[in-house]
Chain A
């Protein structure tokens, strides 16, 4: 590590950035270089200090001197006084340190501290229905720059140099995609936006479309210029009514004010944009299926090549980008590729938005620089498991195409490359956190139910294969699992991945494979011991009261719908197994952890179990 004589912590909170942090930072950097101090003094951008009204502000370490209301004009004087002559520049020093707030600062709360907002830069800040407020936050300045001062090649170069990768899941370089389409010759091209967010537990794109619809439109205008498209479509699922409403209003106001339509912002570029409502089929998130859906046909994928960059919507060259990808185009054009690369890693540059859900305290939407450890997202930002006493078991990333990551791998950095090594994928950014009360076989079954339902049926491996796998998983969770099922599942998975037509089938087995990889013992316990340790598969568990731990409070007795719990007050209770239906009510009600989950004590199914071998009674 290089050592610096001083660290200058400049606030990059929304307030300070609005009042000029980037310009002051550039001026400061130039001045330090001019004076030959760049090697000794380091500028660091930090989170908000809570002095937004006095911004831009800067804290100088090690002296801990606080400067406020910095301006570009004052920088030379400040550098000369403080860093050359060693005298703090009193004029800009913060004088009366305010009494400490009882309310924590952004930097004190891990949820806010670790986040850096680029895609969500206007999150909770502007009125999404006001174009003026969007403009106040540099809105459409990038479009104006791209349309009036840049060639398509200039735009593509910035996006390529920035290393921006598609945020829809696959992580394909956006600049390359644009370049391919740009080079395709055609009388008509299309710029498309994929707002068909369909992963269970993912809501990033919805939130961006609701909170900042203009950021998506601006990204599309710039993309359209880059590839030479004069028409665009935003494909949104009809289940997102608020997003549709706000996008619709944004398009109307843009059309009225010359930001869409002919000769945009006084340039010679024209672009028309419309919304197409999807009916919510998961497969329509696949690009070729989405294009068929817009054409009014049944949403089914087709083999590639030809790739959409050559033959897409209406067989014309088309580019389809995800909402989150488009929302970060404008700031990248304004600030440049180098700025974009200040966050993230070499191969996974920039930030990623995640939707945190499941058994986690801070359910919400977060944006973090790529490369931070998964553990930081779950424990610091997410606040850990939402129930005391419960342990973390796994985090599901990438939805039905992704996988479950166990505790032992939580220290991996969040990048496209590292996540894929775990068997999960970055995906669109849904993160479903699961605690120890989760059955991993049931979790795999849940996702497979989803993909089997959503399979369009065009190719056999996906249509039949996912169904066969689902039947096997159903058997395992209901007590009809057989030796060898795990291997068969692995085998089938490999075949489905290798032979399916589109991404849906090629990734559908991932949840099964990753749970087998990390939680094979759970599959084995289900099959061999008839024991679902989490007590989720009702045929494969029984509930018992540990008499030493039971206080006789009666919480379980009152909750039991079967009157299966018996016992006197303040004396240990007991569960009558013949009456128990394994509904877990007692387990969830007990405050003393006295309910134990053991293997099934009797068979619930009569018929199919006959074929089982070695079933415990």
Chain B
């Protein structure tokens, strides 16, 4: 990466913000697997593997999967956050291979949040 200046920071920020909020880039959904030490210990890697398998099996290309740190509710790990374009994020907890597959099919592909596994809708208070 080239040495950054303030202008570069601003450009990266604008560009990233767009993909971040799914507003550009042609993505329809983003799935964040929470991989802090707590998540990994509870089986987040297996969830990620199961998710990657599902995605390649379904052959979809407009879904981003990414990792992030602890979501805070360590007691309910493994957790993922599913964001669909123009919808508020949904957090799921206590996941297993089977549950994540169901969530992928119902929520990511079908557009209907899986109520029985969902913990909460929306984003946290910052600022």
Q: Is chain B found bound to chain A in the same assembly?
A: yes
Which A residues have a C-beta under 8 Å from some C-beta of B?
A: 12-19, 21-22, 45-53, 101-109, 111-112, 115-118, 120-128, 132-133, 135-141, 144, 148, 203, 206-207, 210-212, 240, 242, 253, 256-259, 265-266, 335, 361-366
Chain A residues in 8 Å Cβ range of B21: 15, 18-19
B32 at the interface (CB under 8 A from A): yes
Question: Which of B37, B75, B119 counts the most chain A CB atoms within 10 A?
Answer: B75
Q: How far is the CA of A48 from the CA of B88 in the complex (A)?
A: 10
Could you count the A-B residue pairs with CB atoms below 8 Å apart for me: how many are there? 197
Q: Mark B1-32, 1 if CB is under 8 A from A, else 0.
A: 11111100100110111001100000000001
4 shortest interchain CB distances as A-B pairs: A211-B69, A258-B3, A136-B16, A124-B71
Chain A residues in 8 Å Cβ range of B15: 132
Q: How far is the CA of A136 from the CA of B14 in the complex (A)?
A: 7
Question: Which of A127, A135, A366 counts the most chain B CB atoms within 10 A?
Answer: A135
Beyond A210-B69, A257-B2, 6 additional contacts (C-beta under 8 Å) are A17-B126, A112-B124, A136-B13, A137-B20, A140-B9, A259-B4
**Contact status A253-B1, CB under 8 Å:** yes
Partner of A123, one of B2, B72, B86: B72
Report A4 CB to chain B, min CB distance, Å. 21
Report A237 CB to chain B, min CB distance, Å. 13
**Contact status B113-A103, CB under 8 Å:** yes
Report A240 CB to chain B, min CB distance, Å. 8
Question: Which of B2, B20, B21, B125 counts the most chain A CB atoms within 10 A?
Answer: B125
Listed A/B pairs (30) with beta-carbon separation below 8 Å: A14-B124, A15-B123, A19-B21, A21-B127, A45-B127, A48-B123, A48-B124, A50-B122, A53-B85, A102-B115, A103-B120, A105-B120, A106-B121, A106-B122, A106-B123, A106-B124, A106-B125, A112-B125, A121-B126, A122-B69, A124-B71, A124-B72, A136-B20, A144-B6, A207-B37, A207-B69, A207-B70, A362-B73, A364-B72, A366-B72
Which B residues have a C-beta under 8 Å from some C-beta of A?
A: 1-6, 9, 12-13, 15-17, 20-21, 32, 34, 36-37, 40, 66-76, 79, 81, 85-90, 113, 115, 118-127
Report B82 CB to chain A, min CB distance, Å. 11
Partner of B75, one of A117, A206, A362: A362
Chain B residues in 8 Å Cβ range of A117: 124-126
Partner of B70, one of A48, A144, A210, A265: A210
Report A204 CB to chain B, min CB distance, Å. 10
